[in-house]
Amino acid sequence: MESLVLPVSSKAEFDKYTSDPNKITVIDFTATWCGPCKQIKPIFEQLAKDYTNLNFVKVDIDDARDVALAFSISPTFVFLKGGEEMTPRFSGADRNRLTKTIEGLATPGSSGAFSGLTTTWSNLNPQAKVLIALCAA
């Protein structure tokens, strides 16, 4: 059976699908590289089949960045040490805040969770590269 979830790849498409003032729309902001997004997809699809009186749309944040920005959908950064959250998390592509936080964690002589690690662009995993690209945008 065909999916009842409407894919959105532009703001114009989003506006078309969500303009009915009498219809509630459920939005799934997703990305092809997002593991949790893939896990929830079949559940979201089933809910669309079960609740046909609602609009179900999926917005790929890489294809429809303008829609993601309109809803302040952004990456979230969490810093852990020994599995415990150590610095307040923050959302958004704030390059300066991210850089300053990492610099603070990686100061010379630091015993932070990141000390002693050397990472180059070539050995980053694809998800990390996408996250960095989103922050730099």
Instruction: Determine the pLDDT at residue 73.
Output: 82
Q: Which residue has the higher pLDDT, 13 or 136?
A: 13
Q: Which residues sit opposite 28 in a β-bridge?
A: 58
**Roughly how many angstroms between the first and final C-alpha of the chain, as a whole number?**
38
Q: Report, as residue numbers or ranges, the catalytic residues.
A: 34, 37
Summarize pLDDT for 77-106 with one digit per residue, the tens.
Answer: 777 777 777 777 777 667 788 788 887 877
The residue among 116, 110, 118 whose CA lies nearest residue 86 is 110
Distances (CA, A) of 22 to 5, 28, 49, 67, 96: 18, 20, 19, 21, 42
Q: Which residue has the higher pLDDT, 134 or 117?
A: 134
Distances (CA, A) of 39 to 56, 57, 60, 113, 134: 17, 17, 15, 29, 22
Domain boundaries, the chain: 6-106
Query: Which letter, b or e, does each residue of 17-41 get, where b requires 16 or more Cβ atoms within 10 Å of its Cβ?
Result: bbeeeeeeeebbbbbeebeebeeeb
Summarize pLDDT for 6-59 with one digit per residue, the tens.
Answer: 999 999 999 999 988 888 899 999 888 888 888 889 999 999 999 888 889 999
Q: Which residue has the higher pLDDT, 60 or 115?
A: 60
Instruction: Determine the pLDDT at residue 45.
Output: 92
Query: What is 6-106's CATH number?
Result: 3.40.30.10
Report residue 112's pLDDT band, with 50, 70 and 90 as the boundaries: very low
